[in-house]
Amino acid sequence: MDLYPGLCLSSSSDRVGSVFCLEELLHAALFNIAGPPGFIFLFLPNSCLVICKLKFSCCLDIFERLKMRFSSIVSAIALTASVASAALHSGRSLKHVGKADKPRKIQQRASPVKTHDRRSAAQYLTNSTAKYAVNGSAIPEVDFDIGESYAGLMPISKAANESSQLYFWFFPSENPAASDEITIWLNGGPGCSSLEGLLQENGPFIWQYGTYKPVRNPYTWVNLTNVIWVEQPVGTGFSQGIPTATDETEVAAQFMGFWENFMDTFALQGRKVFITGESYAGYYVPYIASAMLDKNDTTYFNVEATMIYDPSTSSDAIQEQIPAVQFVNYWAGLHPFNDSYRAFLHNMSHSCGYTAYLEKYLTFPPPGPFPVELPGTDEDGTTTDDCDVFNAIYNEIFWLNPCWDIYQVATTCPQLWDVLGFPGSQTYLPEGATIYFNRTDVQQAINAPIGNWDECSDGVLDTDNSPPSGLSVLPGVIERSKRTVIGHGALDMVLISNGTLLMIQNMTWNGAQGFTKKPSDPFYVPYHEAESLSTLAASGVLGTTHTERGLTWVSIDLSGHMVPQYAPSAAYRHLEFLLGRVDSLSSNASFTTMEFPQPNVTMGNGTAPPTRKARGIELEY
């Protein structure tokens, strides 16, 4: 660590002199960090100010020797190093918060991800796959090589006259641990494209809301395993054919026909299969996994584990209406209704039976089977108008926050643009902008059919009356696979976290109903070096997790509906757990692809919901 003369202002004298701080640092309780570009000020208990030239590797060495006793300092050091380094190269002070004539330039840091020896220039390129090969250095607007990938249309059956085809984009991984596995990612809808997930959540390159261009994604799931993004069912995105599926059984049959063809084309037979997705994929993933497991065929359908984020797994009453007022109470600062309107919402929740339902059934263990008839609903299970508290909140909040986003309720104005045209509660594309996957040059580059592409297509599964997976196939999937993960962003109001927990508490699997204990274990995301200011992601205790009888629950504090988008480092850890690379979501081990020292301290309880607030008061379980 390069030391520079500093001022030592002793409490007993005004002596000025040089400071050499290495050994003192090793024993001091550091309590403040600041500094101009390229330096860190370290304030020690003896009032000694040490000015250290910023040399990140040396700082890490010192803090490793401190045995990570001050874990919060590590995070601050890492962030200070990244920001100060950027400011140093731009010639701007960290205190400079006003606008400048010269735009700030960020120097990209070397990727912290472990590199793996390439098996070959193109490990999956054969005569059968050549027509699907994508030139990774010729993707429009992407100024780097995205690596080996394959994309195009694949029939949903082996029939010679099959006209229905699903569009896919497959990225092989260079991680040696991925040699016998493949992960499927599905977005929801129904009818929403999985290319949304690829471009804005967990793909190798991402184009985030309000940003200028695509950038490398240090948290791409391809760093861990082979991943395929599939637009399904027929009628979604670039997929071709007339949407004929009317329920989840038919959707699963379509997908399995496609999957056999894909596995044969790329010679992936026998691979362990991990199925993941979000939102309406709470239907897709369990139904597809269940159908695959029913086949008892490990050549094509060797299902190992599943993971669903913010999933649709129960009725609207359970996942939206019943926990809605409690959700608004929990995030009261983001829903600043006046006293009279807040009282109106509370009265509606009480009179419709929602408050009492939460008090009785959101308990650990659950009191017994939940009643079939739900509060606030009519005979067919539809919410009555006078109990539609969810829409009472939704319709009013836009007066207070016109840019409020049901997918991530901490969003405020201005409305950021989205290259896919759907940045929040409302579609929005600024004048002069073009939806990325509607560009002909993009379609040509990724072997897609030339024509119109919609992020979410109409006419797909409009008549789906399949039972929610939590009331049908999900328990069997948990029982027949190695692990199942349900993750939920705490800032999501499309489907509310405690509504999903209500579903779990009403579900019976592996011989018991619900969780017997309240989720309270800390969900830990390893500290890691930031690659760029354009892809910052959090570390530390970011929520709460719990595992019982093969089912793992994890809630993520500051994530919205699309967890890999809003909390990419958290989703990266979830996938490591799903793949069996770490044994717990409370583990303080480093990312398996990013070595970085971690604190060895007691973390305490988790930090995200569940909580119950009834009549405005938080209740104990």
Domains defined for the chain, CATH in brackets: 3-90 (no CATH), 147-621 (3.40.50.1820)
Tell me if 528 sits within 8 A of 356, measured CB to CB.
Answer: no
Buried b (16+ CB within 10 A) or exposed e, 496-516: bbbbbbbbbbbbebeeebbbe
Tell me if 377 sits within 8 A of 383, measured CB to CB.
Answer: yes
Half-sphere exposure (CA, 13 Å, Cβ side) for 467?
8
* Whether 583 is catalytic: no
Residue type, 281: A
Strands (E) across 205-355 are located at 205-206, 215-216, 227-231, 272-278, 303-309
The closest alpha carbon to 138, from 447, 349, 434, 415, belongs to: 447
Write the CB contacts of 287 (distance below 8 Å, at least 6 apart in sequence). Answer: 248, 249, 251, 252, 466, 469, 473
Q: How far apart are CA 364 and CA 621, in angstroms?
A: 7
| Tokens 């995200």, located at residue | 608
**Active-site residue, from 388, 418, 492, 557:** 492
**pTM value?**
0.82
Residue type, 35: G
Percent helix, percent strand, percent coil in the chain, to nearest 5: 30, 15, 55
**Active-site residue, from 335, 346, 528, 561:** 561
Q: How far apart are CA 104 and CA 339, in angstroms?
A: 44
Q: How far apart are CA 506 and CA 463, in angstroms?
A: 26
pLDDT tens-digit series, residues 59-102: 444 344 333 433 443 344 343 334 333 333 333 332 333 333 33
Q: How far apart are CA 165 and CA 167, in angstroms?
A: 7
3-state DSSP assignment of residue 438: helix
The closest alpha carbon to 285, from 232, 329, 325, 322, belongs to: 232
Buried b (16+ CB within 10 A) or exposed e, 295-313: eeeeebbbbbbbbbbbbbb
Low-confidence residues of the chain: pLDDT under 50:
1-113, 115-120, 612-621
* Whether 346 is catalytic: no
Cα dihedral across residues 122, 128, 132, 135: positive or negative: positive
* Whether 492 is catalytic: yes
Write the CB contacts of 72 (distance below 8 Å, at least 6 apart in sequence). Answer: none
pLDDT at 410: 97
3-state DSSP assignment of residue 75: helix
pLDDT at 610: 57
**Active-site residue, from 71, 164, 173, 279:** 279
Strands (E) across 172-302 are located at 181-186, 205-206, 215-216, 227-231, 272-278
